[in-house]
């Protein structure tokens, strides 16, 4: 290398004239460039430092800068690196000139960079004047790439040029000017957008009117929209308006929709939505719009706004940006407030329903408009997949809601059933339901279950579960659980309610047995539950009625050892009146055999208590014995009248015991011993020996004959 430099140096020494020529050329180039740079600095200072009016076009400077740069490069290239090194050794002055030449070239490149920015700013103003917003947007992008070195588009700018440019005083001014232009562009685009896309909402006391007025100037509209949405536009305000005033009402409310393709002298498309803003919670189900109307109204909304749905970057459209803000809420409302309520409630409706197909078609519409991404936003597809489940749940819910409404009805609204099935007929045919009264609500409950069983099913679709499988069992379980809760107070206090509920449960038991072959789940356990529920609540009422009788008899006392007094007879009559009242509400309600067994039990408890009260006496005078006989006669006379068949009273276990007690009240000592007959007489069926001995001691004075008679009672 050193040898080569030596050769070049000798060559230049041999050609002194050539060195002087090169030196002169470099000097002239430095002078020309410095003069040019002075003019450029003045232009830049006036524009970006002093902010003086300056109408000089940067094109002149750019062209001159390019020419000078090319000439400097040619001059440097004509000598080359090795030639310059030789010159450096030959002439220190020439070496300094060559270094200055390189530095001024770098400064020239910085000036050229600033001039390009200045030219772009002027182009922005011209494009804005021509309302060419896409060009403005493109120019602003170029400005940004030249101003900010972190931009990927600034890779063609030399690092040294960037460094020097960013160190200049004018750099901050240029950045401010860029941001002002960007803000003005955004503001101008928004104003143009608001004129081309007019969204208005008028609120009245009870209603709201929303108007969308869209310009038909599609070229201008799409230019403005494309530039606006690419210029870091925040669409929240627009999206909130569409969601709050258009999308949500279309789904949730009945909306009057008017579409006009020739509004404002055929220059605009207009969509008007009118709807009530009253509180509609109470009647929301009745006022909910049909899903087909919702879909049709959505189509009109998308059709009205279609002109703004510009392609922003090949894969993203304006509706994509809007969708990012509104689609989650929109899809949630569509599924929960529109589609699920539209699911059929009967098999006939299910078989004729086009809901799934309509939903998928609507989903394609939203996807084709780029409002949703069908691969990510799958709420509508998921709805169609779960359609059968929604159907089963909705059908079951409707049936159960009807059942609960029936359960709320008054039990005392009753009707006679099986009027010809008397107890004798039922005894000979256990499959007959006995004549009795049941609540009309129980009859309606059975009709509901009949409708459920008559509901047609798709026998060919083996993979599709029966939508009403288990519903009958659920209905009966609901009846068993809910009726005692809903009618708790009345069941406890009104005997007729308990009797009717008992009959209702038995009526349902009979129905279940008749339909055992219809695939009712848990048939045996349902029968057992119904029967036990019927028995339980009638038992509660029987116990309550018995407690009333015992409360009355608790005052049964013998105040005078010689006479009965008025209180015992009054209390006995009170008990009989209580039983007569119960008879009036039960005899025509309960099945005859249930009524008879219930009254036998109550009468038996009353008679037993009466007998026990008599046996508390240690001394019974003849007068009291006669009065006790008369008192017992009242019971023996009234008791049979409690039954439709008077002979039914003989089924009362203690009835004969009461009759025998009356007999003993009027019998002689000899007659009593004969009735005992050494333990083989009729008294032994109802009395123990110690009871007869006690009675003899109470009725007769202490004599040898009494002592002898007592010895015979063993």
At 104 the pLDDT is 61
d(C-alpha 113, C-alpha 73), whole Å:
17
The predicted-structure confidence for 215-250, as pLDDT tens digits, reads as follows 988 888 888 887 777 666 788 889 999 999 999 999
**More confident call, 160 vs 337:** 337
| 201 backbone dihedrals φ, ψ, rounded to 5° | -140, 120
Residue 460 lies in a domain: no
The average confidence (pLDDT) of the chain is 82
The predicted-structure confidence for 335-382, as pLDDT tens digits, reads as follows 999 999 999 988 788 889 999 999 999 999 999 999 999 899 999 999
Contact 243, 325 (CB under 8 A): yes
At 11 the pLDDT is 45
434 with 582, same domain: the answer is: no
At 335 the pLDDT is 95
Domain termination residue (choose one: 365, 397, 429):
397
Domain termination residue (choose one: 355, 374, 397):
397
**More confident call, 113 vs 594:** 594
The model's confidence at residue 280, banded by pLDDT at 50, 70 and 90, is low
At 490 the pLDDT is 92
534 with 556, same domain: the answer is: no
602 with 690, same domain: the answer is: yes
Q: Read off the CATH number of the domain in which 652 is found.
A: 1.10.357.150
Q: What is the rounded average pLDDT of the residues 51-79? A: 61
At 7 the pLDDT is 41
83 with 102, same domain: the answer is: yes
> What are the Cα distances from residue 599, in Å, to 268, 315, 523, 611?
87, 87, 32, 18
Burial status of residue 485 (CB atoms within 10 A of its CB: 0-12, 13-18, 19 or more): exposed
The predicted-structure confidence for 174-191, as pLDDT tens digits, reads as follows 777 777 777 777 777 778
Contact 584, 595 (CB under 8 A): no
Strand partners, 275: 208
Residue 98 lies in a domain: yes
424 with 382, same domain: the answer is: no
353 with 428, same domain: the answer is: no
Contact 664, 693 (CB under 8 A): no
Residue 303 lies in a domain: yes
Q: What are the start-end ranges of the H helices in 130-168?
A: 133-147, 159-167
Beta strands in 584-640 (DSSP E): none
391 with 267, same domain: the answer is: yes
309 with 361, same domain: the answer is: yes
Question: Which of 214-223, 272-281, 674-683 is predicted least confidently?
Answer: 272-281
Contact 352, 458 (CB under 8 A): no
Q: Is pLDDT above 70 for 46?
A: no
d(C-alpha 32, C-alpha 494), whole Å:
120
d(C-alpha 179, C-alpha 487), whole Å:
76
Q: Is the pTM of this model over 0.85?
A: no
The predicted-structure confidence for 450-498, as pLDDT tens digits, reads as follows 888 876 655 444 544 555 667 888 899 999 999 999 999 999 889 999 9
Residue 6 lies in a domain: no
Q: CA 328, 332, 338 angle in degrees (round to 5)?
A: 140
At 347 the pLDDT is 78
Burial status of residue 217 (CB atoms within 10 A of its CB: 0-12, 13-18, 19 or more): middle
Residue 461 lies in a domain: no
487 with 628, same domain: the answer is: no
d(C-alpha 371, C-alpha 334), whole Å:
14
Domain termination residue (choose one: 108, 132, 167):
167
- β-strands 436-439, 268-276: how paired? unpaired
The model's confidence at residue 3, banded by pLDDT at 50, 70 and 90, is very low
Question: Which of 124-128, 255-259, 542-546 is predicted least confidently?
Answer: 124-128
513 with 619, same domain: the answer is: no
Q: Shortest CA distance to 239 belongs to which of 159, 163, 319? A: 319
Q: Shortest CA distance to 452 belongs to which of 408, 511, 407, 384? A: 511
Q: Is pLDDT above 60 for 646?
A: yes
68 with 107, same domain: the answer is: yes
Q: Distance between alpha carbon 253 and the CA centroid of its chain, in Å?
A: 17
Q: Shortest CA distance to 399 belongs to which of 369, 444, 351? A: 444
d(C-alpha 214, C-alpha 559), whole Å:
104
Q: Is pLDDT above 70 for 96?
A: no
Q: Edge to edge, what strands does the sheet with 197-203 contain?
A: 197-203, 207-215, 268-276, 256-262
Residue 46 lies in a domain: yes
3-state percent helix, strand, coil for the chain, nearest multiple of 5: 70, 5, 20
Print the domain residue range for 523.
409-454+466-538
d(C-alpha 370, C-alpha 382), whole Å:
19
Q: Got the DSSP string for 174-202?
A: HHHHHHHHHHHHHHHHHHHHHHHEEEEEE
The total domain count for the chain is 4
Residue 403 lies in a domain: no
Burial status of residue 636 (CB atoms within 10 A of its CB: 0-12, 13-18, 19 or more): middle
Burial status of residue 95 (CB atoms within 10 A of its CB: 0-12, 13-18, 19 or more): middle
39 with 127, same domain: the answer is: yes
Helices 689-699/704-712 angle, 10° precision: 170
| 547 backbone dihedrals φ, ψ, rounded to 5° | -65, -35
């Amino acid at each position: 290398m050193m040898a080569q430099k030596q050769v070049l140096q000798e060559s230049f020494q041999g050609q002194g004239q050539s060195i002087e020529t090169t030196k002169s050329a470099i000097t002239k180039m430095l002078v020309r460039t410095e003069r040019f740079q002075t003019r450029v600095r003045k232009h830049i200072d006036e524009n970006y430092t002093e902010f003086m009016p300056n109408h000089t076009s940067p094109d002149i400077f750019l062209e001159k800068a390019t020419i000078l740069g090319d000439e400097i490069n040619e001059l440097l290239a004509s000598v080359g690196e090795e030639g310059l090194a030789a010159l450096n050794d030959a002439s220190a002055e020439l070496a300094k000139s060559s270094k200055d030449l390189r530095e001024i070239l770098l400064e020239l490149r910085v000036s050229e960079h600033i001039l390009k920015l200045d030219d772009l700013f002027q182009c922005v103003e011209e494009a804005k004047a021509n309302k060419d917003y896409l060009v403005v947007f493109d120019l602003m992008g170029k400005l940004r790439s030249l101003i900010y070195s972190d931009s990927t588009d600034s890779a063609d700018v030399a690092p040294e040029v960037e460094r020097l440019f960013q160190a200049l005083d004018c750099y901050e001014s240029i950045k401010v000017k860029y941001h002002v232009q960007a803000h003005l562009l955004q503001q101008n685009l928004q104003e143009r957008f608001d004129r081309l896309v007019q969204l208005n909402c008028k609120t009245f006391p009870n209603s709201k009117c929303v108007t969308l007025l869209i310009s038909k100037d599609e070229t201008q509209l799409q230019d403005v929209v494309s530039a606006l949405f690419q210029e870091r536009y925040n669409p929240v305000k627009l999206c909130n308006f569409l969601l709050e005033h258009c999308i949500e009402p279309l789904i949730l409310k009945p909306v009057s929709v008017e579409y006009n393709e020739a509004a404002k002298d055929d220059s605009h498309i207009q969509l008007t939505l009118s709807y009530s803003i009253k509180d509609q919670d109470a009647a929301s189900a009745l006022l909910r719009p049909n899903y087909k109307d919702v879909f049709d109204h959505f189509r009109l909304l998308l059709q009205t706004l279609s002109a703004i749905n510009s392609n922003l970057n090949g894969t993203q459209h304006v509706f994509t940006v809007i969708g990012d803000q509104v689609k989650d809420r929109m899809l949630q409302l569509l599924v929960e407030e529109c589609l699920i309520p539209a699911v059929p409630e009967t098999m006939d409706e299910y078989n004729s329903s086009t809901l799934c197909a309509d939903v998928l078609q609507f989903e394609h519409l939203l996807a084709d408009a780029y409002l949703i991404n069908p691969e990510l936003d799958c709420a509508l597809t998921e709805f169609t997949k779960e359609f059968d489940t929604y159907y089963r749940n909705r059908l079951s819910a409707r049936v159960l809601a009807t059942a609960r409404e029936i359960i709320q009805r008054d039990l005392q609204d009753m009707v006679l059933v099986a009027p010809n099935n008397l107890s004798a007929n039922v005894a000979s045919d256990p499959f007959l339901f006995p004549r009795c009264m049941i609540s009309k609500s129980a009859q309606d409950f059975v009709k509901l279950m009949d409708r459920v069983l008559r509901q047609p099913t798709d026998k060919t679709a083996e993979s599709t579960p029966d939508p009403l499988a288990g519903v009958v069992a659920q209905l009966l379980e609901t009846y068993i659980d809910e009726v005692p809760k809903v009618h708790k107070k009345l069941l406890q206090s009104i005997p007729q309610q308990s009797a009717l509920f008992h009959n209702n449960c038995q009526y349902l038991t009979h129905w279940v047995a008749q339909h055992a072959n219809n695939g009712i789940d848990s048939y045996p356990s349902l029968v057992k539950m119904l029967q036990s529920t019927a028995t339980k609540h009638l038992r509660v009422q029987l116990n309550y009625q018995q407690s009333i009788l015992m409360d009355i008899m608790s005052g049964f006392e013998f105040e005078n050892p010689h006479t009965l007094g008025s209180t015992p007879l009054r209390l006995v009559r009170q008990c009989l009146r209580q039983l007569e009242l119960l008879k009036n509400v039960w005899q025509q309600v309960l099945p005859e055999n249930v009524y008879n067994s219930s009254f036998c039990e109550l009468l038996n408890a009353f008679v037993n208590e009466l007998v026990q009260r008599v046996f508390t006496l240690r001394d019974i005078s003849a007068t009291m014995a006669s009065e006790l006989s008369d008192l017992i006669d009242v019971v023996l006379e009234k008791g049979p009248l409690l039954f439709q068949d008077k002979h039914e009273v003989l089924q009362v276990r203690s009835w004969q015991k009461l009759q025998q007690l009356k007999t003993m009240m009027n019998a002689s000592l000899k007659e009593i011993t004969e009735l005992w007959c050494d333990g083989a007489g009729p008294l032994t069926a109802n009395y123990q020996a110690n009871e007869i001995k006690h009675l003899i001691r109470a009725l007769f004075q202490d004599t040898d004959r009494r002592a002898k008679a007592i010895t015979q009672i063993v």
